[in-house]
Amino acid sequence: MRLDLLLRLIILTALLLQVGCAALLPRGKVIAESPWPRYTDARDAFDAIVVGKTTTEDLKVLGFDIVSSPNLKVLNYLDIAATVQAIPIQELDPGLQACLRARSDCHAYVFEPRRTYTKRVGNFWLDILNFRRKTHETGWRFRALVVFVNHHVAYKLSSGEPKVDQLQDNVNPLGPFQAPADMIVRALPI
pLDDT in tens, 77-99: 899 999 998 999 899 999 999 99
- Other CB atoms within a 10 A radius of the CB of residue 104 amount to 8
Measured CA to CA, the distance from residue 132 to residue 129 in angstroms comes to: 8
pLDDT at 51: 96
pLDDT tens across 14-64, in order? 655 555 566 666 666 666 667 899 999 999 999 999 999 999 999 999 999
- SS3 (DSSP) at 62: helix
pLDDT for residue 129: 80
Is 80 exceeded by the pLDDT of residue 155? yes
- Alpha-carbon separation of residue 97 from 29, 125, 171 (angstroms): 40, 58, 50
Q: How is 88-131 classified by DSSP, letter by letter? A: -GGGS-HHHHHHHHHGGGEEEEEE--EEEEEEEES-HHHHHTTS
Q: Which residue has the higher pLDDT, 52 or 182?
A: 52
